[in-house]
């Protein structure tokens, strides 16, 4: 998902560059959507916001699985918001609006939302300020759904294990205990549940190279050009040395879904 708050111009520019192709180079997981659908079962109407919506790939899945959803799509990148709008309208969806905004100061009314979604974007936010702001806009009993990968999970995927400097460059991710402790700083919020996901992925070296070159993760935009080229060469060597075939590269990706409820409901 795209960056919502940053002081790094290179990263902001990165999301503008990749907006048009972003949905093609990223993997969109259905499992968290199904979990969310089950959690929200029974609500007659759902007023929600997707913060850091990026190019709208998870927005589209939410609409396909949640009836009576009205979604506010929030991002700080205008290019991403345009792709989101085009994507949803092409699917015949009109029950949404887009807002360009920082995650920590969203122009939404107090207690106006039933739930908040954030998919693969929380590491771009100031966590405590974001959670405090979401507590303001949530109705009592409303939920925040945060889908993300942890630092330790990042270390076990194909990039963390085999792409040089990837872990050193990606310093923005949290561990679960850190998010739990920071959530406790907001009196009105309580962790309701934690769901872990583990996915077996298959790819080829050529596709992985393409994903890295097209900044599949924003982490790649944190490399200098010379660093990235050297790291990419090292990555290719590592894959060739650790897998029997460059056309059969397999690994596990891991994510968590943190569900936080606002007290009072």
pLDDT (tens, 9 = 90+) of the chain, 265 residues, equals 333 333 455 555 544 444 444 444 457 899 999 999 999 988 889 999 999 999 899 999 999 999 899 999 999 999 999 999 999 999 999 999 999 999 999 999 999 999 999 999 999 999 999 999 999 999 999 999 999 999 999 999 999 999 999 999 999 999 999 999 999 999 999 999 999 999 999 999 999 999 999 888 889 989 999 999 999 999 999 999 999 999 999 999 999 999 999 997 5
Domain boundaries, the chain: 9-150+172-199+255-262
Neighbours of 44 (CB within 10 A): 6
Residues ≥6 apart with Cβ < 8 Å to 192: 143, 259, 260, 261
With 0.85 as the threshold, say if the pTM is over it.
yes
Cα separation, 123 vs 133, in Å, equals 16
Pick the CATH number of 9-150+172-199+255-262 from 3.40.640.10, 3.40.50.150, 3.40.718.10, 3.90.1010.10: 3.40.50.150
Going 65 to 71 to 77 to 83, the CA torsion angle's sign is positive
């Amino acid at each position: 998902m795209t960056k919502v708050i940053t002081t790094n111009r290179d990263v902001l520019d990165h999301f503008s560059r990749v907006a048009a192709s972003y949905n093609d180079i990223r993997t969109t997981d259905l499992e968290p959507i199904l979990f969310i659908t089950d959690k929200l079962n029974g609500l007659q109407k759902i007023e929600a916001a997707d913060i850091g919506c990026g190019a709208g790939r998870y927005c589209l899945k939410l609409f396909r699985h949640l009836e009576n959803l009205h979604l506010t799509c929030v991002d700080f990148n205008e290019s991403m918001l345009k792709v989101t709008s085009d994507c949803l309208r092409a699917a015949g969806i009109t029950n949404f609006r887009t807002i360009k905004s920082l995650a920590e100061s969203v122009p939404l009314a107090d207690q106006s939302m039933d739930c908040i979604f954030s998919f693969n974007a929380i590491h771009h936010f100031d966590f405590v300020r974001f959670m405090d702001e979401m507590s303001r806009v949530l109705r009592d009993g409303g939920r925040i759904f945060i889908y993300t990968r942890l630092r330790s999970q990042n270390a076990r995927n194909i990039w963390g294990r085999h792409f040089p400097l990837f872990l050193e460059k990606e310093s923005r991710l949290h561990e679960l205990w850190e998010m739990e402790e920071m959530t406790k700083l907001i009196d009105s919020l309580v962790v309701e549940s934690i769901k872990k996901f583990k996915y077996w992925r298959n790819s080829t070296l050529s596709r992985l190279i393409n994903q890295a070159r097209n900044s599949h993760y924003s982490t790649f935009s944190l490399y200098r050009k010379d660093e990235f080229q050297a790291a990419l060469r090292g990555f290719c060597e590592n894959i060739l040395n650790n897998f029997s075939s460059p056309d059969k590269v397999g690994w596990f990706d891991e994510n968590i879904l943190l569900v936080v409820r606002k007290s009072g409901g």
